[in-house]
Each structure stands twice: as structure tokens, then as C-alpha cells.
Amino acid sequence: MRKAKLLLASVAAILVATPVLADVSVKIGVMNDRSGTYADLSGEGSVVAARMAVEDFGAADKGIDVTIVSADHQNKPDIASNLARQWYDAEGVDVIADVPTSSAALAVNDITREKNKIFLVSGAATSDLTGKSCSPNTVHWTYDTWSLAHGTGQAMVETGGDSWFFLTADYAFGHALERDTSEVVKDSGGEVLGAVRHPFPGQDFSSFLLQAQASGAKVIGLANAGADTTNAIKQAREFGITQGGQSLAGLLIFITDVHALGLDTAQGLVLTEAFYWDLNDQTRDWAQRFAEAHNGSMPTMVHAGVYASVLHYLKAVEAADSKDAEAVMAKMKEMPSEDPLFGTGEVRQDGRHVHDMYLFQVKSPDESKGEWDYYKTLAIIAAERAFRPLGEGECPLVQ
Amino acid sequence: MAADIETLDKQSATKAGAAGMPRLHQVIFAALLALALAAPFMLYPVFVMKVLCFVLFACAFNLLLGFGGLLSFGHAAYFGSASYVAAHAAKVWGLTPELAILCGTAAAAALGFVFGGLAIRRAGIYFAMVTLAFAQMVYFFALQAPFTGGEDGIQAVPRGDLLGIISLRSDLTLYFFVLAIVFTGLLLIYRIVHSPFGQVLKAIRDNEPRAVSLGYRVNRYKLAIFVLSATLAGLAGSTKALVFQLASLTDVHWTMSGEVVLMTLLGGMGTVFGPIVGAAAIVTMQNYLAGFGAWVTVIQGTIFVIGVLLFREGIVGVLSRWLKKSL
Amino acid sequence: MFELLGIPPQALFGQLLLGLINGSFYALLSLGLAVIFGLLNIINFTHGAQYMMGAFVAWMLLHYLGIGYWWALVIVPVAVGLTGIVLERLMISRLYHLDHLYGLLLTFGLALIIQGLFRNQYGISGEAYSIPSQLVGAQNLGFMFLPNYRLWVIAVSAAVCLGTWFVIEKTRLGAYLRAATENPVLVGAFGINVPRLVTLTYGFGVGLAALAGVLAAPIYSVNPNMGADLIIVVFAVVVIGGMGSILGAIVTGFGLGLIEGLTRVFYPEGSAVVIFVIMAIVLLVKPAGLFGRTA
């Protein structure tokens, strides 16, 4: 049977001038938040991005038949694991993409390894995915807590923000972000004056902000995400904290958050991201196409990551001439990645994709020339410095 | 309408007599069992196991609401804490699945005893609020305590080997284990409801002062049914933890408490088979509508509204009225 | 410098003041719930969604029609109150003869629908609504920097609470209301249109929630979930105060705001649960709540 197929394929290859694969059909499942806090930064936009990757790759011409399905994991690990299991077992999904929310991504990570499929993480933050929970079946593309903490933490200390106070969401993700950033601050010669843990999700942060203000720290680090971060920023402005000379460092902020806050409130904020639509001609072109397909919203770095990871995956399928997880993963790690959004990069042994990261500052309303013109680049963090060194992650795959 | 069902209850109870279960109920149970035995070969087994776990949870809840007349708005506390304890027992202590489930169930029973003992001193809406307050505390504990893993929950719980011999790694093997647990649970609930103890409970539900004047120590009965309900909810929660290899905050959040009310209401509270239908319908809906995002909440809300306005007896309640038979 | 439990007194005053501001939201929302429960015997689970609607309608007025904050303060409670009246007439009024449970379940379902619809339409990140220019800025109180807008919130909330209490406890209309709560049949026999009174009361309670929503819009993010978790807390406030007690709702609203504020200083991790702990204790010691009459 298999031999016959191979034979057929080679006959076909000889008949047609361009090399065509024996028809491979892949099913990509985009799993993310479609109704909750992260729906805007991932959500339908990630599906749009995945679809664009399939088109740009020209899958149909290359004999790869791609289907994309999507589902809402509501940011809950139980729903995510349930969906992943069902997709792999019953619906023939080969690869799951995106999956924001660290707890959900860790759940999908486990199941993907158990079922020997492929997991392309873009939305999730935890650096454990390429650290102690690393898996031979996972590629973590866009960013992680380590890179955010290091990007923002180091840059702030270097520009004089050497005393910190943390406003931390009281759950594992917030704790991890606080811990990682504290280390960076201390290593760079700064000091941490204190931290306050707020309930998650929170609504009113004034009391915690007042404690942060009283600490006299130069930088207030927001170790939280989503609505918690935007609320805290809004209220910090109201209570005159930024006007009082303290600066805010958002440790996990996306362009959609800035969009929701408005420049008036968000101006001056320093943050680290992996992608911004207005970096160069290629990103601008791509973002324009994305916006046309997605109600005029500009892409976030998560959307960019979904696009680039799916593109790289499809290239690997083409190169491996199969969708077998082991073969494709080997190709993904062996071939350098090349796409219009992240430029060239590579997938490391532990599954980490490395590329440049950017330190941005949010523009003031005067500096902004129009809708979605939000960031100015403070620094480019080179790929080799942007992510945790391979040896330090305690990943069992790294010898 | 409530009165109708009540008289039907009595009829069926007398008809059943010594035989235990009326013929109709025997037939339905047999049909359900047959369906459940065939299901994993036609549907995705993990999905059917989820349905089974929620069926047990809803029936346990119905025991308290439908037969005890007590609306708990915090049943997630027992379901969820059992699920955490079972997951911890299986993963960290390395217990075999049946012992892990036992641990979880025992934890729920203990929690039910403490909370129930305090809560049953209040009635009506105050009872609902006290149970909600306790459940919020459990949620807070689950979010903070080191062993629960915060919002990651306890992941990658091993399914283990039943009695140390039979591996449950295969979905099908696990399925029959879960089916056995759930079916035993359902029969137990049936037995409780149709025992003399259950009859006293119904008397208390329908007219508490009368039951008091007849000399029943009402609070003891209420506590007993509360603990039983919490225990069975715990059994469902522990089983769920093994099926999904995961215990998470969802299991203890107040929306879970709301969901189980929805299942019971939709199926028909105070009926034997209602919660089974309700739980199956809701879980199926959530599963197949997952792609519609926020519309799922809208649809659930609509079911609530239509259910309360037009079908207060629930699906099985309406059927039971048409057929003039207690179901 | 002396310190109280390791906290300088100035900081403590600041925190207490913030607690009071939060308390004024609790008071406004629980007041609406208490009024509705007192007269309709309905536990209005939709209250959180109606609070969210208040904030959203204010945003929509600005965004689509260019109508600003001050007009919104008047228009929004009326508009959202009217939607409440429609709900009451079409659905809630059918449940008065039934157990409380059904009212709770119906309004729970309605809350799910409303939140789901807004989520579909506007996503979840939230919309920005700025503080009206007249209230921008802050007072330096020496021990803290108090934004003018927050002062305004306390003032409005206190005035509305006081006004409502006065109307219900001290005027003829209030007397009808209270009488209708006790014995609707008798009051109806005196020629008072009780169903209409009930409908208007529900509309009023909803209007209060919407007003709280407008007040919240400039300081909290306007998003479809803003009321979902708050409602559970506000429930607890009403229960602690005594279901249906107007004064109880107001006093406990402010009081619990203060207690929560203190918890945020001394044990921040516990600030989300302290209200529930108090609720459990109060219910067990004094089942009808602090200000409730035992039936």
C-alpha cells in the first residue's frame, strides 16, 4: 500500500515539472480565548493570521491540503485539555496553535506530548513551556515571561529606574512575573522595595497603588495582565502617580490594551513586545492585509506569532514530505525560520523560537499621527540576549 | 402542579411496594445502562465520561434541592475540593485510582458535614447565601493554598492502575470504571429517595412545621441529606479529576454552582431522571457550541429564562405530567 | 512618629478614604437590590449586568451621539430603568406568586444573556471613558492625593442614598410602598395601583444600578464583565445588612467598603474574601442581617 503510494507519488513527481508532495492533508486547530479577557489580543485574529499563513505559503499549489478549525478555551485549563484531547482523538487535528493563558497552554502541552502531535504556542507567557515542562512536541514562538521581565526590567534599571515596587496579581502567573523581574532588577544593580498582592481579577487598585506610591520606589512594576493591567494604569494616572515622578512598567501589555486605554492614559508606558505592525515595510504590508480581513484592527504580537509559526510548520511539512510529528519537529528545528514579521530566526532544542525583541514606549497623543500609531522604539534586544540561555531553563531535552 | 407530582410520588411509592422499584423505572434504568454501554463505541469516550460525571453531580444536587427542598448555591465547593484532593492523592501520594477517589469523596463528606451543620440552621434564601459564602471561601482557599497550584490547577494527574492491577490508561477501560461508579451512585440516590428516610425528607420539604410537630428531628434529617449530597457531589468531582487528569479552579468557581442548578432545573428538579437529562443536555450543548464563543452564555441564559417562565417542571417534569407517571 | 500596627496614620487615613469610595458603589448597588427585594421579593441577579449596561450606555451616548458625561448621568438611569420596566412587565411579574428561587434563576439567566450579548458586540478589552473635564485634577490632602472625581462619587452616592432613604421612610409615597410590601391586597383595596407601583420600583432599582455604572465608567474599565463578579459581593452586602432593609443596605455598603479597605492594607490577599467571611458570621449569629427584622 505504502509502496504503491510512494510509487504513485514519484510518478507524479516525474510527470509534473515542479515537485509536488503526495497529498498531505493537515488540520490546524487554533485554540484561544474567543470571549474573555484575551479575546482581542488572540481570538478570531489568530484564525485570520493562520489563514493568511496558509495562503502565503501557497499550500494548495504545493499539494498540502490545510483545514483550520478553531475553538474557545475560555482561559480555563480544564476546557483546554478537554478540547485538545477531543481534537487529537476524535477530530484528526495534527497541530494546535496559539493557546494564550499559561495554565491552559501547560495543559495542552501535556496532552500534545502524550498524543505525539505538535503544539505551536504563541499566546501563552510562561517560560516553563521551554523550561522544566519543555516537550519535544512544542514550539514556543512569540515571547515568554523571561524575555518580558528581562527586556523591561533591564532597560528600566539602565535608564535610572533602579528601585522597584511590584503590584502583583495574586496567582501563579503574577508571582512568576514578579520573581523573574525581581531577579533581573537585582542583577542589574537595582533594588526591590516591596510588593503587594492584589486579588485576581481586581477592579479597584487605588489602595494598592497608594501603597506603591508610599514606598517611594521609582518604578512600579505591574505583574499582572489583561483588564487588571489596564485598570491599574488608568487608576495610577488618576491618582497622580505618574505625574508624581514614579513610572509604570507594564510587564505584559499588548497593543490592544494600549488601544483600549487610549494614548492619553497610556502615554509614557515602557513595555517589551516581539512585534509591532509599524516596524518596516514588510510588517506594514502584512498588517494592512490583516486589518482588512479583521475589522480594521491591527495585529498583536500574538497574531504575528501564529502567522509565523504556522508558516514555519507548513514549510517543515513540505520539507519532511510528511506530517509525522517527529519528522516535522526535526525539520522545524533544523531549518532556520524566515518570515516577513520576525525576519530570520531559529527554533532551539528546547522548543524556544528566538528572534529580536523590542523595547517600546507608548507615544503621547501629540506624537501619534493616527489611529494605531502607538509605539516608538527605544531599543532592539538582539535575539541572543532576548531569551533565556539554553542551559538555564532546566529543560530535560537539553543535555 | 407540585401537588400533582406529589400524589404521583405516593402512587408510585405504594405501587412499588416491596419490590423496591416500579417496573417503569426498572425499564428506564435498564435502557440508560444499555445506552451507556453502547455509547463509547459510537461517541468519543472522554466526552461521554464527562457527561456521566455531571449526571452524578446533578443527581447529587437534586437530592438536596428536589427532595430536601434546600437550594445550595455553593455546591461547587464539594465537587471541586473533592477533585483537588483526589488529584493530589493520585499524583503526589501516588495512590491507586479507587483510593484517590475515596480520599476525595471523604474530603467532600467532611466539608459537607461542617458547612452543612452550620448552613441548615438557616432556611430559604439565607440558606442559599450561606452556602454561597462558604463556597467563596473554598474558592479563595483553592486559589491560595500551595498544593492546589493556583490557576494552573493540578495537571497531569496519573490515571493509574485500578487496584494496582488494571491499567486505566485506555479510555475504554476507564470508561467502564467510571460507568460503574456513576451507576452505583445513581442507584444509591434512588434508594435514598425511596427509603423511609426519603419519605420523611419529602414531608419536611413540603411542610416543615408539620414534620416537627410529628416529632421528627428535622435538623438531623436536613444535615444527613446535606452530607449525602455533598459526598456524592464529591464522588463526581473526584471521578472527573481522574478522567481529565486535572483539577482546576473552574471546579470550585461559583459559576459551577450555577451550572448544576441549571442542569437540575432544565431536567426537572425533584424527579428521578430529570437531572440525568439536564446534565446530558447542558454538557452536550457546551461541547457542540464551543465554537460559538460568547453565544454559549446567551443560549444558556435563554434556557434559564424559558425554563423558569414556561417549563418550571423541566423536561422530565413535563414528560411525567403527560404520561401521568412519576419519573 | 507613632504608627498603628506598623502603618503610619496618614497612610491609614488614605486607605480608609479609599474604602469609603468603594463603599459608595456598594451602597448604591445594594440600595437598588434592597429596594427591589423589599417590594418585589425578587433577588435581582441581573443587577450586575444592569450596572454594566449603565456604564456601556454612557459610553455609547458619547461614542455614537456625542452626548457627554453630565447628560449621561440623567439619561442613562432613565433609559436603563425603562429596559428594566420592560423586563419586569414581560417576565419578572409572572413569578411573584412563586418561590424566591425562581426569581433568582430567571434574573441569573437574564444576566447571562445581557453579558453575552455585550461581549459579542464589544469584545472584552473594554472601552475608554474619560473623566469629565470639570472633575479632572485632585486635592492634596497632605496624607494623600485625592482625585476630585472620587470625591464627586462619594458625594453623589451619599446624596442619592440619603434621598432614597428619605423618600421611602418619610414620605407618603414611601408609606404606600412600605404598606404594599406588607400587604399588597389591602393596599390595592384602598385604590392604589399596586402592580404599577411594583413596576416603577423595579425600574427605580435598576436605574440606581445604571447610575452606579455611569459613575464607575470613568474610573473602572467599561467592559461586559464589570458587573459579573461585583454582583456576588453586593449580594453579600445586602444579606449582611438585612434583605430589604434600606438603611441596612446603605450603612453596610459604606461599612464594608471601609473594612475591605483595611484588609487591603493588613492582609491584601484576603481582601476578596473578607466580605464573605463576615457574611457567613453575620448570618449564623443574626440570621436576618444586621438591620433586618426577623420575619
At residue A22, the pLDDT reads 55
d(CA C190, CA C178): 14
Residues of chain C with pLDDT under 50: 1-3, 295
Alpha carbon of C220: minimum distance to chain A alpha carbons (Å): 6
Q: Which three cell numbers stand for residue A318?
A: 513540505
**CATH code, B259:** 1.10.3470
Q: A21-143+279-355: which CATH topology?
A: Rossmann fold (3.40.50)
C145 contacts A211? CB cut-off 8 A: no
pLDDT digits 0-9 by tens, B114-155 = 999 888 888 777 888 889 888 988 998 888 777 887 777 888
**Quick check: B279 and B51 in contact, CB under 8 A?**
yes
Hey, which bits of C125-226 come out as E strands?
Answer: 138-140, 145-147
ipTM: 0.79
Would you list the domain boundaries of chain C? Answer: 45-113+148-228, 229-295
B171 contacts A78? CB cut-off 8 A: no
DSSP assignment of B65-103:
IIIT----S-THHHHHHHHHHHHHHHHTS---HHHHHHH
At residue B18, the pLDDT reads 40
At residue B141, the pLDDT reads 86
Q: Within an 8 Å CB–CB cutoff, is residue C105 touching chain B?
A: yes
Inform me whether the pLDDT recorded for B3 exceeds 60.
no
Using CA atoms, how far residue A340 sits from A57, A276, A279, A302, A303, in Å, is: 12, 12, 11, 15, 13
DSSP state for residue C133 in the 8-state scheme: G
At residue B20, the pLDDT reads 64
- Please list every residue in chain C whose beta carbon sits closer than 8 Å to the beta carbon of residue A262: 128, 130
Inform me whether the pLDDT recorded for A71 exceeds 50.
yes
- Considering the entire predicted model, what is its pTM? 0.83
At residue A324, the pLDDT reads 92
The answer as to CATH 3.40.50.2300 being correct for domain A147-273+357-386 is yes
Q: Chain A residues contacting B, CB < 8 Å?
A: 34-35, 39, 69-72, 76-79, 81-83, 85-86, 89-90, 102-103, 106-107, 110, 170-173, 175, 200
Inform me whether the pLDDT recorded for B6 exceeds 70.
no
Inform me whether the pLDDT recorded for B188 exceeds 90.
yes
**What's chain B's Rg over C-alpha atoms?**
19
Using CA coordinates, name the residue in chain C closest to A226. Answer: C125
Q: Which of A226, A370, A350, A236 is nearest to A300 (CA)?
A: A226
d(CA B177, CA C191): 67
Inform me whether the pLDDT recorded for A263 exceeds 50.
yes
The answer to which of A15-24, A154-163, C37-46, C147-156 has the lowest mean pLDDT is A15-24
- Please list every residue in chain A whose beta carbon sits closer than 8 Å to the beta carbon of residue C271: 198-199
Q: Which part of chain A is CATH 3.40.50.2300?
A: 21-143+279-355, 147-273+357-386
pLDDT digits 0-9 by tens, A180-223 = 899 999 998 899 999 988 877 777 888 888 888 888 899 999 99
d(CA A265, CA C128): 9
pLDDT digits 0-9 by tens, A283-298 = 999 999 999 999 888 9
The answer to which of A101-105, A219-223, B77-81, C241-245 has the lowest mean pLDDT is C241-245
- Please list every residue in chain B whose beta carbon sits closer than 8 Å to the beta carbon of residue C239: 126, 129
Pairing mode of beta strands A118-121, A95-98: parallel
What is the residue type of B144?
Q
